[in-house]
Amino acid sequence: MTDKESKEIQVKPKQELTSPAEQTRPGLVFTPNVDIFETDTEITLLADMPGVTSDNLNIDLRDNVLTLTGEVAPFEEGDEQDIVIEYEIGKYHRQFNLSSVIDQSKIDAKLNDGVLRLSLPKVEKATPRRIEVKTG
């Protein structure tokens, strides 16, 4: 990461969701940018969801499919008129297939400054174990 930190951030327009399923509600849907990493004991997911509050965030895990959904309210208040609009807001939606077996009772989610941090601990038996090879 250190080599990345000095570089300038390039503009990356929000990715609109291209889903095989048709949307049943109007409005734009974006896929949040995520980091996913794994240690021996857990999988951690970080998602950029600016504008989402904890009340409007929905995390769902069933049949090893993790679904993140976040609603963002329109930013204009009162009688504000748009002058320049470079980014749109909408719903965030993204699904992941989790390969390891997750201990659903220990999932922990934190939302700080528009970044979701989701800790998904693996169940005991899924953590890798070193197998001793015996001779003889």
Partner 1 sequence: MLYRKFFNVPSWGFSKSFRDFDRLRREMDDLFGALSGGTLPMPSAGVFPLINVTEDTNNYYVRAELPGMKSDELDIQVTGNGISISGERKIPMEGNNVKYHRREREAGTFSRSINLPGEIDVNKVEASMENGVLKINIPKSEAAKPRQITVK
| Contact residues for partner 1, defined by CB under 8 A | 1-2, 4-14, 16, 28, 33-40, 43-44, 46, 48-53, 75-76, 78-88, 112-115
Measured from the CB atom, the residue of 7 and 62 that comes closer to partner 1 is 7
Measured from the CB atom, the residue of 19 and 53 that comes closer to partner 1 is 53
Measured from the CB atom, the residue of 21 and 83 that comes closer to partner 1 is 83
Least CB distance to partner 1 at residue 77 (A) = 8
Q: Which residues contact 83 (CB under 8 A, 6 or more apart)?
A: none
The helix/strand/coil state of 87 is coil
Least CB distance to partner 1 at residue 134 (A) = 27
Least CB distance to partner 1 at residue 40 (A) = 8
Short-list 29, 28, 107, CA closest to 62: 107
Q: 115-121 and 108-112: which strand pairing?
A: antiparallel
What is the strand order of the sheet 15-16 is part of?
Answer: 15-16, 29-31, 91-97, 65-70, 57-62
